[in-house]
């Protein structure tokens, strides 16, 4: 049992001063000002920020491992522990467009990871291959294709967990989107050249959000508002943003954050294998990817994921004064939890807030520079 005292608590909505958070059996048991029992191990937060653990919906790898090449539970554990050091207590392992034979292997490994309840792993994000080749980014053109019935059957093999898939709405049928929704997928649009009308139709069909907004999608124009315009004009959809200053300029983010409610934005890392290591090079599809000036690029300069963690993305948007501290913290945890439906009763636990009965996933931050002081995952103190 654990007690965090003297907390400047951000519960997911508001800040509360001088609170005690009692943790028992991996859950938040109570939040109050009551006296601490001697049976509780105590952490003195010293009036620093205590907030929900970060939730990353787009993690390609870390700790030297890439999910498209990861075929063991031990490797998934290593990626999870790498990101946990940076405050990411929950994440979706992300598998990008690849050879058709690889995804079934990863799905089976992921299913085993879910059954073993590996801390941090709450589901899967499948990014491609049902995308637009003209917005492929680093995705390999030879593996991009349209979905078949066998693909639907393969996707149905994913066990009971959080499921997210990125598709190009102009390249798939409404029937395919409907089938995904029946199988409880969160459907996002990405790597797409959808027109404004196509994107509007996609939202009406059940598309829930946009993967890495501004990147690999049709842009806002004078005569064609594209994906960006459709996202701004619709209240319900969420959008992931890669706040590293390379994928999207901070000035551009400032504009869109003023145009739409901040609760609809989710910080994502799009992290690749070098995160948490000293690697200066890695491979995607046998292609060399270089670590240069805080970004990952191939020999032609195409961005290949990011060097971010959610923690670094949070520091960036706060240093740039794009949002308030509360809004920034919501973008790391509360917003993705609401988007994925894990802020309500579900099989993967309650996440995204510090409230009684929620999972004890907690980060303690320095309130001045937002450096990580402690990470607690399911009640276990990691640092």
Q: What is the pLDDT along the chain (383 residues), one digit of tens a residue?
A: 899 999 999 999 999 999 999 999 999 999 987 766 667 789 999 999 999 999 999 999 999 999 999 889 999 999 999 999 999 999 999 999 999 999 999 999 999 999 999 999 999 999 999 999 999 999 999 999 999 999 999 999 998 899 999 999 999 999 999 999 999 999 999 999 999 999 999 999 999 999 999 999 999 999 999 999 999 999 999 999 999 999 999 999 999 999 999 999 999 999 999 999 999 999 999 899 999 888 999 999 999 999 999 999 999 999 999 999 999 999 999 999 999 999 987 767 899 999 999 999 999 999 999 999 999 999 999 98
Task: Name the β-bridge partners of 162.
Answer: 123
φ/ψ region of 233 (left if φ > 0, alpha if ψ in -120 to 50, else beta) reads alpha
Please tell us whether the domain made up of 2-51+356-381 is placed in CATH 1.10.260.40. Answer: no
Distance CA 89, CA 375 (A): 8
Question: Boundaries of CATH 3.20.20.140 in the chain?
Answer: 54-340
Locate 268 and state its tokens: 């994502």
- Cβ pair 212, 58 in contact under 8 A: yes
Using alpha carbons, select from 295, 245, 249 the residue that is nearest to residue 272: 295
Q: At 333, is the secondary structure helix, strand, or coil?
A: helix
Using alpha carbons, select from 234, 255, 232, 252 the residue that is nearest to residue 242: 252
Locate 26 and state its tokens: 């991996």
CATH code, 54-340: 3.20.20.140
Alpha carbon distances (Å) from 201 to 120, 145, 206, 367: 34, 21, 9, 43
| Residue labelled with tokens 């309650």 | 350
Question: Boundaries of CATH 2.30.40.10 in the chain?
Answer: 2-51+356-381
Strands 162-167 and 185-189: parallel
Distance CA 32, CA 234 (A): 39
What's the confidence (pLDDT) of residue 37? 63
Straight-line distance from the first to the last Cα atom of the chain, in angstroms, rounded to the nearest whole number: 16
Locate 170 and state its tokens: 């102009």
| 30 tagged catalytic | no
**243: how many CB neighbours lie within 10 A of its CB?**
27
- Cβ pair 23, 39 in contact under 8 A: no
Using alpha carbons, select from 141, 230, 135, 142 the residue that is nearest to residue 191: 135
What's the confidence (pLDDT) of residue 255? 97
Using alpha carbons, select from 256, 261, 193, 181 the residue that is nearest to residue 226: 193
* Residue 6 CB contacts under 8 Å (≥ 6 apart), including other chains: 18, 44, 45, 46, 47
Strands 2-10 and 362-365: unpaired
DSSP 290: E
Locate 235 and state its tokens: 């209240």
Q: To 10 degrees, the CA torsion angle through 83, 377, 184, 239?
A: -50
Q: What are phi and psi of 204, to 5 degrees?
A: -65, -30
What's the confidence (pLDDT) of residue 33? 74
Locate 126 and state its tokens: 């499948």
DSSP 220: P
Whole-model pTM? 0.97
Which of 11, 98, 244, 270 is labelled catalytic?
270
Distance CA 73, CA 112 (A): 7
């Amino acid at each position: 049992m654990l007690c965090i005292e003297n907390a400047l608590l951000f519960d997911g909505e508001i800040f509360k001063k001088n609170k005690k958070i009692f943790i028992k059996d991996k859950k938040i048991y109570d939040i109050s000002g009551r006296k601490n029992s001697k049976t509780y191990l105590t952490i003195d937060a010293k009036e620093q920020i205590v907030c929900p653990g970060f939730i990353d919906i787009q993690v390609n790898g870390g700790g030297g491992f890439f999910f498209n090449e990861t075929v063991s539970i031990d490797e998934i554990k290593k990626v999870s522990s790498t990101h946990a050091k940076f405050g990411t207590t929950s994440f979706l392992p992300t598998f990008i467009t690849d050879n058709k034979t690889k995804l079934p292997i990863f799905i089976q490994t992921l299913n085993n990871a879910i059954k073993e309840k590996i801390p941090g792993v709450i589901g899967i994000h499948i990014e491609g291959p049902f995308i637009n080749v003209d917005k492929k980014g680093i995705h390999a053109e030879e593996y991009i294709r349209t979905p078949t019935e066998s693909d639907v059957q393969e996707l149905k093999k994913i066990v009971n967990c959080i499921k997210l898939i990125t598709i190009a709405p102009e390249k798939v049928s409404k029937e395919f989107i409907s089938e995904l929704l029946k199988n409880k997928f969160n459907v996002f649009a990405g790597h797409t050249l959808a027109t404004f009308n196509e994107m509007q139709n996609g939202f009406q069909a059940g598309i829930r959000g946009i993967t890495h907004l501004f990147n690999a999608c049709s842009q806002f124009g004078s005569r064609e508002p594209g994906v960006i315009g459709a996202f701004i004009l619709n209240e319900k959809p969420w959008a992931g943003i890669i706040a590293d200053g390379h994928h999207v300029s901070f000035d551009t983010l400032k504009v869109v954050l003023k145009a739409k409610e901040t609760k609809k934005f989710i910080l994502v890392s799009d992290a690749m294998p070098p995160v948490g290591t000293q690697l200066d090079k890695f491979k995607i599809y046998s292609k060399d990817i270089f670590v240069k000036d805080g970004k990952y690029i191939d020999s032609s300069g195409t961005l290949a994921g990011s060097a971010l963690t959610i923690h670094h993305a949070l520091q960036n948007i706060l240093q740039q004064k794009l949002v308030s501290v509360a809004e920034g913290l919501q973008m790391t945890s509360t917003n993705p939890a609401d988007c994925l439906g894990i802020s309500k009763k579900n099989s993967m636990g309650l996440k995204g807030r510090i409230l009684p009965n929620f999972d004890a996933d907690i980060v303690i931050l320095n309130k001045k520079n937002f450096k990580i002081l402690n990470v607690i995952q399911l009640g276990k103190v990691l640092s």
